[in-house]
């Protein structure tokens, strides 16, 4: 699976996602990072809905709540 890179940072990754510039694996990595860091909850609801779809599709995993 692709990783979110520091090369353009998280803001750059989000901008690239919104512009449709990311490949599927990059989208999955971005959303996994957003879930793991809990940043997803500070973004628009559309991100949370897409995260739920990706979880249901098995593309990303729900982070452990104990972390």
Is the pLDDT at 9 greater than 90? The verdict is no
29, HSE (Cβ side, Cα atoms, 13 Å)? 15
- pLDDT, position 50: 98
The two three-digit tokens of residue 35, written as one number? 């879930």
pTM of the complete model: 0.85
CA–CA dist 13, 22 (Å, integer): 8
Mean pLDDT computed over 10-14: 92
14-60 tens-digit pLDDT: 999 999 999 999 999 999 999 999 999 999 999 999 999 999 999 99
Q: Where are the alpha helices (DSSP H) in the chain?
A: 9-18, 24-36, 45-56
């Amino acid at each position: 699976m692709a990783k979110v890179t520091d090369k353009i940072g998280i803001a750059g990754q989000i901008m690239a996602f919104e512009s449709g510039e990311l490949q599927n694996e990059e989208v999955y990595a971005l959303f996994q990072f957003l879930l793991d860091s809990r940043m997803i909850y500070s973004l628009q609801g559309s991100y949370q809905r897409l995260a739920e779809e990706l979880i249901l599709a098995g593309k990303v995993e729900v982070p452990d709540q104990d972390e």
